[in-house]
Amino acid sequence: MSEYRFALGTAAATFVLIVVGGLVHATGSSLACPDWPLCYGQFFPPMVGGILFEHGHRLAALTVVVLTLVLAVRVFLRRREARALMALALGLLLLQAALGGLTVLYKLPLLVSAAHLATSMAFFSTVLWLAGRLRPRELPRLERRPRAAVGLAALGTYLQIVVGGFVRHTGAAMACSSRIPLCDGQFWPSGGPGQLNMLHRYLGLALAALVLAATFRPAREALQRGHDTRASLALAAPLLVLVQIGLGLLTVATSVSISVVTVHLATGALLLADLIALHLSLGAPGGAADEATHDRVPGLAPAAG
C-alpha cells in the first residue's frame, strides 16, 4: 500500500474517532472512566453503559495513534518532501493525547475540552493535507484567487466547528429555547450562553455565503471542462452546508437529540474535508502541468502502485 493510501486510511480512522468523540459528549459519558489511560485500572473493562462510549473512544484513538506512527515511519524513510507535515501531525497527535488525559483527570474543564476538539480537527486537516502532499505533484497552473477563496472557506469551517464545540461544552445549545431563528425573539440576547448560541448561528450563515461564493467558479469551470472529480467536490460543499444548517435547526427542535447532534458534528467534519480536498485539487499557484492533469485530485484520485 502506498503512503498516499495509508494517509487516506488514517484520515478515515480519524473521522470515525471524531464521530465517536461526539457520541461520548452527547451521551454524557465523558467521565464514565474516572482514570486515564486505563478504565478502572483495566485495558478491557466491561463495555457497558457509558464505558462503551468512553473507553471505545480511547480504543479508537489508540488505533489512530498506531496508524499515524506507521505512516510516520514510512514517510520519514521514503518521502522527504512530506516530513514537515508528518512532524506537524505527530505534534498534534501528542497534544491531543495530553488534552484527552487532562479532560478526564481535571473533570472536563471548558478550555481543555474545547481545545481537545480544536486539536482533533487540526490533526484531521493535517492528515488530509499530508495525503495531498503524498500525491504526484502534477498540478495545473491556476489563478490564486479561486484557490485562496476555497482555503478561506475551509478555515472558516474549522473556526465554526470550534465555536460549535464551545456551544456544546457550555450547554448553550438550548440557551435560546426552541424559538428559531431568533433567540427568544431577540437578534442579540443579553445572556452569555444566548449570545454564544446566536454567534454560532450568525457565523453559520456567513460561512454558508462564503462557501457558495468560493465554490461557484471552481464548480462552473470544472463542469465546463469535464473535470468530474473537481466538479463533484465543488458541488458537494454547498449541499453539505445546506444539510448542516438543517441539522443545526433540527438540533434545537429536538432539544439536542443525540443522533442529530452527532450527525451535525460529522457533517461539519465532512464539509471541512471536502473543502480541503477541493483546495488541493485546484493545484499550487504557478504549478506546471498540461490540461490532462486537471482532474487529478490529490487525496482523492486513485494512486498508482
> What are the tens digits of pLDDT across the range 57-87?
999 999 999 999 999 999 999 998 899 999 9
User: Residue 228: pLDDT band by 50, 70, 90 thresholds?
Assistant: confident
* Amino acid present at 270: L
Enter the DSSP assignment of 305: -
SS3 182: coil
Q: Measured between alpha carbons, how far is 116 from 100 in angstroms, rounded to an integer? A: 7
- Tell me, what's the pLDDT at 222? 87
Please state which of the ranges 17-21, 90-94, 96-100, 134-138 shows the lowest mean pLDDT: 134-138
Grid coordinates of 9: 486510511
β-partners of residue 186 are: 183
80-114 core/surface letters (b: 16 or more CB in 10 A; e: else) = eebeebbebbbebbebbbebbebbbeeeeeeebbb
Residue 59 phi, psi (nearest 5) = -65, -40
Across the range 5-23, mean pLDDT stands at 95
103: pLDDT strictly greater than 60: yes
Across the range 175-201, mean pLDDT stands at 84
Q: Measured between alpha carbons, how far is 270 from 275 in angstroms, rounded to an integer? A: 9
Model pLDDT for residues 144-162, shown as the tens digit of each residue: 678 899 999 999 999 999 9
Grid coordinates of 4: 498516499
Q: Of 173 and 191, which is predicted with more confidence?
A: 173
* Cβ neighbours around 38 below 10 Å, total: 13
- Tell me, what's the pLDDT at 137? 59
Identify which of 230, 16, 7 has the alpha carbon closest to the alpha carbon of residue 130: 7
Q: Of 99 and 300, which is predicted with more confidence?
A: 99
Helix ranges (DSSP H) in 170-289: 192-225, 228-253, 258-281
User: Residue 291: pLDDT band by 50, 70, 90 thresholds?
Assistant: very low
Describe the chain by its helix, strand, coil percentages, rounded to 5: 70, 0, 25
- Tell me, what's the pLDDT at 174? 84
Every domain of the chain and the residues it spans: 1-134, 139-305
Identify which of 211, 193, 191 has the alpha carbon closest to the alpha carbon of residue 203: 211
Across the range 31-35, mean pLDDT stands at 91
Mean of pLDDT over the chain = 87
User: Residue 136: pLDDT band by 50, 70, 90 thresholds?
Assistant: low
300: pLDDT strictly greater than 50: no
Grid coordinates of 32: 464514565
9: pLDDT strictly greater than 90: yes
Q: Measured between alpha carbons, how far is 61 from 56 in angstroms, rounded to an integer? A: 9
Q: Measured between alpha carbons, how far is 140 from 303 in angstroms, rounded to an integer? A: 18
Global pTM value: 0.88
CB 101 within 8 A of CB 109: no
SS3 186: strand
Grid coordinates of 269: 467534519
289: pLDDT strictly greater than 60: no
288: pLDDT strictly greater than 50: no
Across the range 88-115, mean pLDDT stands at 92
Across the range 107-114, mean pLDDT stands at 90
Q: Measured between alpha carbons, how far is 204 from 188 in angstroms, rounded to an integer? A: 15
